[in-house]
Amino acid sequence: MPQHILIVGGGVGGTIVANLLARSLHHQEAEITLIDSTGKHVYMPGWLYLPFNHLGAESDQLVRPEHSLLNNRVHLVTGDVYKIDIQNRELYVHQSRGLDEIVGTGGASEAIYPYDYLVLATGARLVPSDLPGLAEGEGKWHHFYSAEGSLQLRQALETFAGGRIVITVGGIPYRCPPAPLEFTFLLDEWLRKRGLRDRTEIHYLYPLPRVFPIESVAAVATPLLEERDVKYTIFFNTEAVDTERKLVSSLEGEEIAYDLLVLVPPHRGAKVIEDSGLGDAQGWLPTDRATLEVKGMPHVYALGDATDLPVSKSGSAAHFEAKVLAARLGALVHGEELKGEEGLYDGEVMCFLETGQNKATQLVFNYENPPHPPRPSLYYHMEKQLFNRAYWHIVPQGLV
């Protein structure tokens, strides 16, 4: 009898696991099903560039149908998993956009999917209501953490004539820790090109005792902020936003006025994780840092942004985790022993940090070894640009 492997989430993590398993397991050994609420695969790193009209990309070029990226051995279900029953090894799914609906013969349906192995790759979600003032002030502050948000920010920048731009985060953790710094550097460059830099103060606020969580990265970024005349305040834990008075205030008791606010919204794990009582207080899955097994839940694995692992919430981490998880699940289905480090995640992450002016640096690290970012250069900027374009052809397929 084939084993049923269910994967929830068609982001970078879930898609790579599905494709690698489809290539390594015969259909008599395993049936692989991926369930995703939207049926669309989004390349979020592209959102960073949309406000500046870079990348030559519009938001619709950063999305592809999930089915176009999957090995044809993977059965795709477009639907929302609304309950995960760990005791009975079942998922409850509201199939709102099933094949029926696509061909126009049917509508929503409910289904129960049993599993032998479950992979939770449900990512993170934005919860503005977690920070007082954000939900009430909708449309009066900005972010680049969704395609719509980035395009609205682009419009706000187009009409910006000078003043103070404040950049901050609404809480930790959030996806892609370098993104607010990258945005700051790209904004500085953009304002200089538009002749607006002399009339604009950029103020970067960060909750930690430095401008980036990892010390070696902060050591590279801080002098760059100073060189570019970007003001920064550390130990600024955003507590509330007043969009009427245009003030952002911190737990530490500071109030900072802005003309334009760019704030990374608070993040949480997927709603179904919270609703099924599987996550911690923020909805992150308690995950074994090496095996990726969800703690206390046999046969359930997690990867990517959905986990509580002490690595950045990044596509890169999800990518490396997907490879070890596919090796682990493949061995389990084959009844084979894993050897040495095989099937164990060591915290590997590799990502770029754009520093503006056509330069970037690269962050390579794992649980044990912090990054040693090289001096920002055109070389890493070009590598990042190349990656942005090559992504669709190599990453979801698990070819790198």
Ligand X SMILES: Cc1cc2nc3c(=O)[nH]c(=O)nc-3n(C[C@H](O)[C@H](O)[C@H](O)COP(=O)(O)OP(=O)(O)OC[C@H]3O[C@@H](n4cnc5c(N)ncnc54)[C@H](O)[C@@H]3O)c2cc1C
Going across the sheet that includes 74-78, the strands are 74-78, 30-36, 3-8, 117-120, 300-302
- Residue 77: what residue type? V
Instruction: Indicate whether 13 belongs to the interface with ligand X (CB under 6 A).
Output: yes
Instruction: Indicate whether 81 belongs to the interface with ligand X (CB under 6 A).
Output: yes
Q: What's CA 34's distance to the chain center, in Å?
A: 19
Instruction: Indicate whether 304 belongs to the interface with ligand X (CB under 6 A).
Output: yes
- 236 or 320: CB nearest ligand X: 320
| Whole-number Å distance between alpha carbons of 164 and 259 | 5
Instruction: Indicate whether 48 belongs to the interface with ligand X (CB under 6 A).
Output: yes
Q: 3-class SS at 227?
A: helix
H helical segments located in 115-214: 147-158, 179-193
- Write the binding mask 242 to 281 for ligand X: x where contact by CB under 6 A, - elsewhere: ----------------------------x-x---------
- 238 or 314: CB nearest ligand X: 314
| Whole-number Å distance between alpha carbons of 132 and 239 | 7
- Contact set for ligand X, span 17-36 (CB under 6 A): 35-36
Residue 233: Cβ-neighbour burial (10 angstroms; 0-12, 13-18, 19+): middle
Binding residue for ligand X (CB under 6 A) from 31, 80, 308, 348?
A: 80
Instruction: Indicate whether 128 belongs to the interface with ligand X (CB under 6 A).
Output: no
Going across the sheet that includes 255-257, the strands are 238-242, 247-250, 255-257
Beta bridge partners of 4: 31
Cβ-contact 325, 335 below 8 angstroms: no
Q: How far is the CB of 144 from ligand X (least distance, A)?
A: 5
Preceding peptide of 396 cis, ω within 30°: no
Instruction: Indicate whether 355 belongs to the interface with ligand X (CB under 6 A).
Output: no
- 242 or 274: CB nearest ligand X: 274
- 44 or 230: CB nearest ligand X: 44
Q: How far is the CB of 301 from ligand X (least distance, A)?
A: 13
DSSP codes, 237-275:
-EEEEETTTTEEEETTS-EEE-SEEEEEPPEEE-HHHHH
Instruction: Indicate whether 144 belongs to the interface with ligand X (CB under 6 A).
Output: yes
Binding residue for ligand X (CB under 6 A) from 20, 21, 31, 45?
A: 45
Binding residue for ligand X (CB under 6 A) from 51, 123, 180, 371?
A: 123
Instruction: Indicate whether 176 belongs to the interface with ligand X (CB under 6 A).
Output: yes
How many residues interact with ligand X (rule CB under 6 A)?
36
Q: How far is the CB of 43 from ligand X (least distance, A)?
A: 7
Q: 3-class SS at 23?
A: helix
Cβ-contact 123, 9 below 8 angstroms: yes
Q: How far is the CB of 342 from ligand X (least distance, A)?
A: 22
| Whole-number Å distance between alpha carbons of 132 and 136 | 8
Instruction: Indicate whether 398 belongs to the interface with ligand X (CB under 6 A).
Output: no
Q: What token pair was written down for 224?
A: 């760059």
Binding residue for ligand X (CB under 6 A) from 228, 313, 323, 381?
A: 313
Q: How far is the CB of 78 from ligand X (least distance, A)?
A: 9
Contacts to ligand X by CB under 6 A: 8-14, 35-38, 44-45, 47-48, 80-81, 121-123, 144-145, 175-176, 179, 270, 272, 304-306, 313-316, 318, 351
